[in-house]
Amino acid sequence: MRLVFFVLVFAAVPGCTCSGVNRGDVNLVSLDDEWALGDELAAEVDAQTEALSDPRAQAYLDRLGGALAAQTELADREWTFTVLDDPAVNAFALPGGHVYVNAGTIAAAETQSELASVVAHEVAHGAARHGTERMVKAYGLSLVAGLVLGDDPGVIRQIVAELVGQSALARFSRSDEEEADNLGLAYLAAAGYDPDGMAAMFETLTALRQRRPGPLAQWFATHPLGEDRIEAARVAAEGAEPTGEPATDPETFDVVRQRVRAAVPAAATP
Ligand SMILES: [Zn+2]
């Protein structure tokens, strides 16, 4: 696969399509194009992965994810959430509002706020449009525009294979990760979940890694997790008060987690 379109697109472009939430970074892909591209990528992810066959877990994630997406600047767009049948702790967001959460992430979370923090982080990558920013930087605008038009299904397949395989392409920059943590924490609290859930999830995953490194390897490769990141989440949570009641309840979370742990026994559990 030849991806040689390193077109320089970051000249100043007045009146461009900027995401409102990501520090004003230029994003030359229109929202409509991004959502069309997201549908193509999602169809390919669906072909390369397996969704967990558990309607209750799926319904729970739909509610949780929908409540978080409703807090974003792109709440009026269509968002989808999918539980993948995969024991590894991981989650990722495609451009265009498609969020995937591995069953292993649900199995590992100690509380629903911990799980919600991971989903909120991925929703934040989507709302900040980090995916299209990164694709345009890596491939150039002309190739991305061609993908929107469906010009090259081979490239779509390759991009999704790298994403699903968690290669380098799956990694966002450190500043994108910080932004996703900050925005995610705000969405978490605005949706009524405990903002302490983010630091708590980081601690849960760090502890799990000591005992079961296998299912945590992907997560730590794409989400470097130092004490500074945990501390930043702790400090941010102090300034964030949960607003209202969350859309999901802890009892349903317990039931769903139990079912997921039974369905995916290779997952790491606290
Ligand atoms: Zn991230």
Higher pLDDT: 212 or 116? It is: 116
Q: Is residue 256 scored above 70 in pLDDT?
A: yes
Ligand 1 centre from 54 Cα, in Å?
26
> pLDDT band at 169, cuts 50/70/90?
low
Give residue 199's pLDDT. 97
Q: What is the pLDDT of residues 10-61, one digit of tens each?
A: 323 333 344 446 555 667 889 999 999 999 999 999 999 999 999 999 999 9
Ligand 1 centre from 41 Cα, in Å?
18
CA angle 202, 232, 134 (to 5 degrees): 80
Ligand 1 centre from 22 Cα, in Å?
14
- The mean of the pLDDT values for the chain is 87
Ligand 1 centre from 186 Cα, in Å?
15
Q: How many CA atoms lie within 13 A of 139 on its CB side?
A: 24
Ligand 1 centre from 244 Cα, in Å?
26
Q: Which H helix or E strand runs over 120?
A: helix 112-127
Ligand 1 centre from 56 Cα, in Å?
26
Q: What is the pLDDT of residues 117-144, one digit of tens each?
A: 999 999 999 999 999 988 888 888 888 8
> pLDDT band at 212, cuts 50/70/90?
confident
Of 197, 194, 193, the residue nearest 246 (C-alpha):
193
Residues of the chain with pLDDT > 90, as a percent, come to: 62
Ligand 1 centre from 124 Cα, in Å?
8
For the chain, domain boundaries: 31-262
